Amino acid sequence: MTKLQNLIIIGVSSVGICSASLAATKVERRNIEAKIETIIIDGSMVRINSGDSNHYSVIDMDKGKMYVVDASNRRIIKMDIIGKPPEVSSHNFRAQNPITAKLVKKRSNKLIAGYSTTKHVLKVDGRTCSKYYFSKNLEKVTDFRRYIDTMSKMEASRKVQGMPMPPCVRGHDKLKKEMKALGISMKMQIMMGKMGNKVLHEIVKVKTHVKVPANIFNLPMGYKMISEQEMMQRQRRRY
């Protein structure tokens, strides 16, 4: 986590300003709450619209920074892509039993957002944990892979080593490299036993060579910028 100590008033109107371009990629993705997120990628710049007009994020992949905009509170949270895990006492963590995880390819030629996919099932200790639909074609025609890798690095850098995790989560983490070689995950469905199945994410639409305005990656003027560390401290004080 960053260790900026003071609030900073933004003195410039934007970060990573780029010229209007026809090279952008626009991806619409349904999340676990069945809400549509819009991800716009143009070179090293990314904007993520959550579907809530008061909240969006801007990523500068070249600089390794992410800015989470909260318009309702006129605030921006500045985060490093490569951060640090929260400070958690690990001396009570119990060692977990080894697991056996494997990906099983299934016969499928399903099209998702117009891209052909291959279907695989994750099995951990014989239990079916999740189903994936991978596409290598999407990886070839867009910069979406770089965005996914950036978000994976961000998540991995904040994980607490040794923290107990469910077997299915451990299996997913164990086979990440194998999954990456299969392409981009267009859809992931998790098996929840008696609670049924749940779609974790699904890409529903992809547009390439999209024209985006020059200010789409700008940050609003006059907002307070706080560090990730300060945000976490505020949250702890609430509880």
Of 101, 98, 122, whose CA–CA distance to 182 is shortest? 122
Q: Which residues pair with 61 in a beta bridge?
A: none
Q: What is the per-residue pLDDT for 90?
A: 64
Q: What is the per-residue pLDDT for 141?
A: 77
Of 85, 224, 94, 97, whose CA–CA distance to 158 is shortest? 85
Tokens of 75: 């605030």
70 neighbors 77 (Cβ within 8 angstroms) = yes
186 and 147 within one domain: yes
80-93 pLDDT, tens digit per residue, is 999 988 777 666 77
122 and 108 within one domain: yes
Report the pLDDT averaged over residues 14-38.
Answer: 75
In a domain, 116, yes or no: yes
Tokens of 216: 């789409």
188 and 120 within one domain: yes
pLDDT at 190 > cutoff 80: yes
Q: pLDDT-based confidence at 52, cuts 50/70/90? A: confident
147 and 234 within one domain: no
In a domain, 93, yes or no: no
Instruction: Name the burial class of residue 157, with classes exposed (0-12), middle (13-18) and buried (19+) by CB atoms within 10 angstroms of its CB.
Output: middle
Length of the chain: 239
130 neighbors 191 (Cβ within 8 angstroms) = yes
Q: Give the whole-number percent of the chain exceeding pLDDT 90.
A: 63
35 and 62 within one domain: yes
* Per-chain mean pLDDT for the chain: 85
Q: Which residues pair with 115 in a beta bridge?
A: 112
Of 121, 131, 130, whose CA–CA distance to 168 is shortest? 130
pLDDT at 200 > cutoff 80: yes
205-219 pLDDT, tens digit per residue, is 999 999 999 899 999
193 and 114 within one domain: yes
113 and 74 within one domain: no
Of 20, 21, 24, whose CA–CA distance to 207 is shortest? 24
144 and 55 within one domain: no
Domain count along the chain: 2
Q: What is the per-residue pLDDT for 21?
A: 52
Domain hosting 34: range is 8-82+210-238
pLDDT at 19 > cutoff 90: no
133-185 pLDDT, tens digit per residue, is 999 998 887 789 999 999 999 999 988 888 888 999 999 999 999 999 999 99
In a domain, 219, yes or no: yes
